[in-house]
């Protein structure tokens, strides 16, 4: 700063800050192009979904927003399933989400069960259910007694 003769310290500091701003603004990265996924605020790739829509030949023409909408819906469903499966994994005191947790989530949720009724999850297992006719008479009377005593 001693090289700036005739300027007070405040003026010299201001000039240095202005020069620093000019330098930083000239060295900024160009904004360039952003992917459609980033512009839409999605994590799933919109271009891949659009590619599958075109290759699948579901329609002669596919609108520009169709792939964006479908990608958003798919991302929402995946986030919902993973959130619920994470809670189920936590209930089972597991650090990993297993196929069993996803199966339980899908079968217990009414809408997901209806949407994914024909889907088979490998190693998902079945829902735990014991038919009432399989209980012995002692077990049935014990359950009735427990229900009556707790009321």
Q: Which residue has the tokens 């800050």?
A: 17
CB-side exposure of 53: number of CA atoms within 13 Å?
19
Whether the model pTM is above 0.75: no
Quote the pLDDT of residue 133. 83
In a domain, 133, yes or no: no
In a domain, 147, yes or no: no
Q: How far is it, in rounded angstroms, from Cα 51 to Cα 34?
A: 18
Angle, helix 99-108 to helix 66-91, in steps of 10 degrees: 110
Q: Which residue has the tokens 């005593």?
A: 149
In a domain, 6, yes or no: no
Residues found in the chain: 151
Between CA 143 and CA 117, with CA 93 as vertex, the angle to 5 degrees is 70
Quote the pLDDT of residue 116. 94
CATH of the domain at 59: 1.10.20.10
**Domain span holding position 43:** 36-125
In a domain, 100, yes or no: yes
Q: How far is it, in rounded angstroms, from Cα 146 to Cα 128?
A: 21
DSSP state of 114: H
Q: How far is it, in rounded angstroms, from Cα 145 to Cα 131?
A: 19
Quote the pLDDT of residue 26. 53
In a domain, 22, yes or no: no
Helix (H) or strand (E) run with residue 72 in it = helix 66-91
Number of domains the chain is built from: 1
In a domain, 14, yes or no: no
Quote the pLDDT of residue 57. 92
Quote the pLDDT of residue 21. 67
pLDDT digits (tens, 9 = 90+) for 51-94: 999 999 999 999 989 999 999 999 999 999 999 999 999 999 99
Quote the pLDDT of residue 29. 59
Low-confidence ranges of the chain (pLDDT < 50): 1-4
In a domain, 4, yes or no: no
> Is the dihedral angle over the CA atoms 92, 94, 97, 99 positive or is it negative?
negative
Q: Which tokens go with 76?
A: 């929402």
Q: What is the DSSP string of 112-142?
A: HHHHTTT---TT--------GGGS-HHHHHH
Quote the pLDDT of residue 2. 47
In a domain, 17, yes or no: no
């Amino acid at each position: 700063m001693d090289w700036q003769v005739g300027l007070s310290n405040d003026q010299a500091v201001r000039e240095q800050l202005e020069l620093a701003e000019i330098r930083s603004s000239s060295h900024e990265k160009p904004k360039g192009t952003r992917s459609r996924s980033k512009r839409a605020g999605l994590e799933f790739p919109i271009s891949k979904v659009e590619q599958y829509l075109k290759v699948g030949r579901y329609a002669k023409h596919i609108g520009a927003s169709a792939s964006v909408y479908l990608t958003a819906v798919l991302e929402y469903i995946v986030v919902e399933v993973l959130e619920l499966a994470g809670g189920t994994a936590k209930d089972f005191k597991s650090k990993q989400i297993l196929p069993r947790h996803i199966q339980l989530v899908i079968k217990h949720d009414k809408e997901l069960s209806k949407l994914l009724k024909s889907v088979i999850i490998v190693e998902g297992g079945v829902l735990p259910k014991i038919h009432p006719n399989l209980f012995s008479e002692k077990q049935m009377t014990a359950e009735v007694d427990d229900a009556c005593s707790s009321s």
